[in-house]
Amino acid sequence: MLNPLHLRTLAAVLRTGSFAAAASSWAYAPSAVSQQVSALERETQLVLFERAARSARPTQAAELLAQRSGEVLALLDALQDDVGRLAGGRLGHLRVGSFPTASLHLVPLVLARLALRAPDVRIVLDEGEPDELLPLVADLRIDLALVYEYDLVPRNWPPGLVRTTLQVEELALPGQQR
């Protein structure tokens, strides 16, 4: 497999016109650039430069390799950017479960804010009651769930789940005084 650093070095030499200029643009020693190009020549079994006493002229193979590797290196750069965005939570999928009342009143504002902050995160909302949603979280079929519980009806939490209280409200029946 071709080493991306070697390919980037080749591109720098062709772009700048010399090993010394490429080394200067990367704050490398010229010998380091020469070693990278020599390693690429060994990897590819191609002669990439016609070397003379004080010059090195790129071969047709060097030109073609640099052109074709530019496309691949651009894809690698895009992949590296995507990895950073994935790690930072700005790219990917988020599967959220919520009970119907929260889906109507609480979730839309939160998801709208998230969509503004991370437009490349695809958000999927699943509605259900807590007894339906919690096993989905435990089985990793959804990423998180917004659920409720009542003091008089304790909830059975699957092992391994982290529970975070977002809001506590008093339950009042119609006509009941607080």
Query: The domain spanning residue 167 has which CATH number?
Result: 3.40.190.10
From 66, 86, 106, give the residue that closes a domain: 86
* H or E element that contains 124: strand 120-127
From 36, 53, 86, give the residue that closes a domain: 86
Phi/psi of residue 15, each to 5°?
A: -70, -40
Number of compact structural domains in the chain: 2
Are 75 and 114 within 8 A, CB to CB? no
Shared domain check, 109 and 49: no
Shared domain check, 112 and 50: no
Shared domain check, 21 and 43: yes
Q: Domain limits at 72?
A: 4-86
pTM, to two decimals: 0.63
pLDDT at 84: 94
Three-class DSSP category at 65: helix
Work out the angle between the directed axes of helices 4-16 and 60-87 (0-180°, nearest 10): 120
Shared domain check, 157 and 172: yes
pLDDT at 178: 61
| Interatomic CA distance for residues 157 and 140, integer angstroms | 15
| Interacting residues of 109 by C-beta distance below 8 A, sequence separation 6+ | none
Shared domain check, 108 and 149: yes
Shared domain check, 143 and 59: no
Shared domain check, 105 and 163: yes
Token pair for 54:
């004080």
pLDDT at 100: 96
Shared domain check, 66 and 108: no
Shared domain check, 34 and 115: no
Are 79 and 128 within 8 A, CB to CB? no
Per-residue pLDDT of the chain (178 residues; tens, 9 = 90+): 899 999 999 999 999 999 999 999 989 999 999 999 999 999 999 999 998 888 889 999 999 999 999 999 999 999 999 999 999 988 999 999 999 999 999 999 999 999 999 999 999 999 999 999 999 999 999 999 999 998 888 888 899 999 999 988 887 778 766 6
